[in-house]
């Protein structure tokens, strides 16, 4: 089932892995790890998926819409804002953001985030649905309502350069990621 007004974003920019390979292109079981996030988004009903910070190598290996990072070098916070800006220009109401290096993410895990966001869509407050696992926030993975854009832009302009600082004044609904959102090679 396609979700009208929803767009996905896989954050593929940033520093390469320790062996110099682009993070989204690290081989996991014969496929680039970034394709796992793309497949999870598509399987959860997200038809359009952007590759934020994509290089030519990403575009050649991954099936997504390349989007230049508006704030290169500003980490996930800048990439999230880039995704929201592009989503806004595309007419989207909601952006589902995933890191590119999630070997265990699945369409069912993404669907849990989407279902939580959809169940609260009548809320009058702009909000974000984020992932926690074992008490640890799994930034940048989450569902961002487009109406958050002005608030997040203001936070970014005021110096909020981490995702936790970016969303510090926004109501957050936390969803248990059940192990699906651990980054490849990252902390457990």
179: alpha, beta or left? (left if phi > 0; alpha if psi -120 to 50)? left
Question: What was the pLDDT predicted at 94?
Answer: 95
Average pLDDT of span 122-134: 82
With 90 as the cut, is the pLDDT of residue 150 above it?
yes
55: enclosing H helix or E strand? none
| Tens digits of residue pLDDT in 3-42 | 889 999 999 987 766 667 788 999 999 999 999 999 999 9
Per DSSP, the three-state class of 14 is: coil
Cα 104 from Cα 36, distance rounded (Å) = 8
Cα 75 from Cα 162, distance rounded (Å) = 7
**pLDDT band at 124; cut points 50, 70, 90:** low
Cα 40 from Cα 28, distance rounded (Å) = 15
Q: At what angle do helices 107-119 and 33-43 cross, to 10 degrees?
A: 50
Structure tokens at 92: 């989207």
Structure tokens at 148: 């958050």
| Separation of first and last alpha carbons in the chain | 33
Cis peptide before 187 (omega within 30 of 0): no
**pLDDT band at 152; cut points 50, 70, 90:** very high
Q: What is the pTM of this model?
A: 0.94
**Domain spans in the chain, listed from the N-terminal domain onward:** 6-176
Average pLDDT of span 130-158: 95
| Tens digits of residue pLDDT in 80-106 | 999 999 999 999 999 999 999 999 999
Q: How high does pLDDT run on average in the chain? A: 92
C-beta of residue 50 within 8 angstroms of C-beta of residue 10:
yes
CATH architecture of the domain 6-176 equals Alpha-Beta Complex (3.90)
With 90 as the cut, is the pLDDT of residue 115 above it?
yes
Higher pLDDT, 19 or 52: 52
Nearest to 100 by CA among 43, 185, 30: 185
Question: What was the pLDDT predicted at 55?
Answer: 92
Cα 12 from Cα 107, distance rounded (Å) = 19
């Amino acid at each position: 089932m396609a979700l009208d007004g929803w767009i996905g974003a896989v954050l593929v920019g940033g520093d390469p892995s320790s062996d110099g390979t682009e993070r989204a292109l690290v081989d996991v079981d014969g496929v680039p790890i970034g394709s796992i996030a793309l497949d999870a988004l598509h399987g959860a009903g997200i038809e359009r998926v952007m590759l934020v910070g994509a290089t030519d190598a990403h575009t050649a290996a991954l099936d997504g819409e390349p989007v230049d990072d508006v704030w290169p070098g500003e980490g996930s916070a800048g990439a999230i804002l880039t995704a929201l800006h592009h989503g806004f220009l595309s007419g989207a109401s909601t952006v589902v953001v995933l890191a590119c290096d999630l070997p265990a993410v699945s369409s069912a895990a993404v669907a849990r985030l989407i279902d939580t966001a959809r169940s609260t869509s009548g809320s009058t407050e702009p909000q974000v649905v984020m992932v926690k696992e074992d008490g640890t926030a799994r930034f940048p993975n989450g569902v961002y309502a487009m109406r958050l854009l002005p608030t997040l832009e203001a936070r970014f302009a005021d110096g909020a350069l981490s995702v936790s600082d970016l969303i510090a004044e926004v109501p957050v609904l936390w969803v248990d990621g059940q192990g699906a959102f651990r980054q490849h090679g990252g902390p457990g």
